[in-house]
Amino acid sequence: MLVVLGLISVLATVATVTLGNSTERAYVTTMQSDLRMVATAQEAYIERTFAETGRASYARRIQDLDVNLSNGVQVRLRGNATGWAARATHSRIPSVWCAMYRGNVKAFPPATEEGSIECD
């Protein structure tokens, strides 16, 4: 009986650790998806501003983009005429950040390669 209880507790521990890692990966995937959505919205924004004003510029605030962020995701954004950078966090895993950038702009860490989403 003690052996069976020991096995059950070991299996429960393994299942809990595996489930915890799966949940964190799901939140990271959500942040990555939202950053891809921001990238698409930035391209639409620069086309729209060029058509309206004759001058191209990327959005400087997330509120200027037509995006619906996933529940729990916050995105910090900076932009100028030649580039943009964004960093996403999730309220469930505040110690993990994902970021990306395009063009001539100071990137948020952990982004180091233009156009690539990187997470820490």
Q: Long-range CB contacts (< 8 A, 24+ apart) of 83-92?
A: 83/58, 84/42, 84/58, 84/59, 85/111, 86/35, 86/38, 86/39, 86/62, 87/111, 88/31, 88/32, 88/34, 88/35, 89/31, 90/27, 90/28, 90/30, 90/31, 92/23, 92/27
Residue pLDDT, tens place only, 39-82: 999 999 999 999 999 999 999 999 999 999 999 999 999 999 99
Q: What is the pLDDT of residue 75?
A: 98
Q: What is the pLDDT of residue 82?
A: 95
As a whole number, mean pLDDT of residues 5-27 equals 67
Structurally, the chain folds into a number of domains equal to: 1
E strands along 1-120, which residues?
73-79, 83-90, 93-103, 118-119
Q: What is the pLDDT of residue 1?
A: 62
73 neighbors 34 (Cβ within 8 angstroms):
yes
* Distance separating alpha carbons of residues 62 and 94, to the nearest angstrom: 19
At residue 15 the predicted structure's pLDDT band, cuts being 50, 70 and 90, is low
As a whole number, mean pLDDT of residues 24-53 equals 96
Q: What is the pLDDT of residue 40?
A: 97
Q: What is the pLDDT of residue 10?
A: 60
Domain holding 32, by residue range, is: 2-119
At residue 11 the predicted structure's pLDDT band, cuts being 50, 70 and 90, is low
At residue 18 the predicted structure's pLDDT band, cuts being 50, 70 and 90, is low
- Peptide bond just before 110 cis, omega within 30 deg: yes
Residue 33: pLDDT above 80?
yes
* Distance separating alpha carbons of residues 79 and 69, to the nearest angstrom: 18
